[in-house]
Amino acid sequence: MATKIAPTALVSDNAKLGKNVIIGDYAIIGDNVAIGDNTEIMHHSTIDKNSTIGKNCKIYSYAVIGTDPQDITFNSDDETFVEIGDNNVIREFVTINRGTKKGGSYTRIGDNNYFMIYSHVAHDCQIGNNTQLVNGATLAGHVEIEDFAVVGAFSSVHQFARIGRNSYVGGYTIVLQDILPYAKISQTRDNYNLYGTNSIGMLRNGMDREYIHKVRDLFDIFFKSDLNTSQAIEKIKEKFDKSEETEILIDFISKTKRGFLKTFGK
């Protein structure tokens, strides 16, 4: 099937469209936009300037990608960008902003992600692969989301916070600190709770039970002992052989700037 552009769509003369691309009615494709093979841009959606969309993506109606960042210090003369990988699903009314020069100029999204209705990705966010933003999930600027993480419905993530790989953030949670890899957290009316490991998500993503049990043991040292973070890391190094699980957790914690959620739920 050849590339198909609806007669009512507005496509910039310098946009680059791959093979078998579909552009729906009243869609707008701006300057310096590149769209990969087999990607569909549905009716009334907007891909603004300096945006790259990978292969096999589906962008639903009224999504808006690549517009100016919502940053009052942004200079409209700055050249900034959005890069989106392959096999992403971007549902209705999703908004994804370009980066800022001071934040590195790029908002980046990897492969195989699912952005549900009304979710928002702000300037300079860095999102990995196989993540999910559920309806109304909102990321402030400079947020990092690692592979296989899920951000629940109507949750908000503070700028510069990080969501670790294979973690799960329950709906209506306000994330003010980093969320450790493999963690399952939510916010009730009165407090935040870390409910241990995201075991179900880890199983679904191909991790075996031995791996999951190892992560649980690591969490017990971090959260159920009387040790502070530095002491917990030292105990883990002493007790456990070097492994993927331990290295991922220690590396993540060593890079935190906002601290990480430590309150354990009942």
Point out the residues that are catalytic: 123-124, 141
Q: Pairing between strand 192-197 and 183-187?
A: antiparallel
The Cα 149–Cα 184 span in angstroms is 10
186: its two tokens: 């939510």
168-173 contacts at long range (C-beta below 8 A, 24 or more positions apart): 168/198, 168/201, 171/134
- Yes or no: say if 11 and 29 are a contact pair by the CB < 8 Å rule: yes
- Neighbouring C-alpha atoms within 13 Å toward the C-beta of 67: 14
Q: Which residues contact 69 (CB under 8 A, 6 or more apart)?
A: 80, 97, 98, 99, 100, 122, 123, 124, 141
